[in-house]
Amino acid sequence: MKRQTKLKSDDDIVGLFPPMKSIAAFLAATLFMMLAISLLNFLILEFYFGIVDIGSELLFLYFAALVIIFSGFNYAIVRGSFFAVKVLKWYFCILFIIFLPTVFLIAEQATFIYAYLLAVIVLFMSLYLLQSKYYQIFVEYQFDALEDIKEVRAEIAAEVAADKAKHGNKF
List, as one string, the DSSP characters of 129-155: HHTSHHHHHHHHHHHHHHHHHHHHHHH
What domain range includes position 71? 20-142
Which pLDDT score, from 0 to 100, does residue 83 have? 93
The reply to whether 128 falls in a domain is yes
Residue 148 belongs to a domain: no
So what's the pLDDT on residue 102? 81
Residue bearing the bigger pLDDT, 75 or 7? 75
Q: Alpha-carbon distance 57 to 21, whole Å?
A: 40
Predicted confidence (pLDDT) per residue in 101-147, tens digit: 887 777 566 677 888 889 889 999 999 999 999 999 999 988 888 88
Mean of the per-residue pLDDT values of the chain:
84
Q: What pLDDT, on the 0 to 100 scale, is given for residue 19?
A: 81
Nearest alpha-carbon partner for 29 in 69, 62, 77, 65: 77
Domain assignment present for 131 = yes
Asked, for residue 133, whether it belongs to a domain, the answer is yes
Domain count, the chain: 1
d(CA 25, CA 31): 10
Identify whether 99 is part of a domain.
Answer: yes
Q: Is the pLDDT of residue 99 over 60?
A: yes
pLDDT at 88: 92
Region 46-65: mean pLDDT is: 82
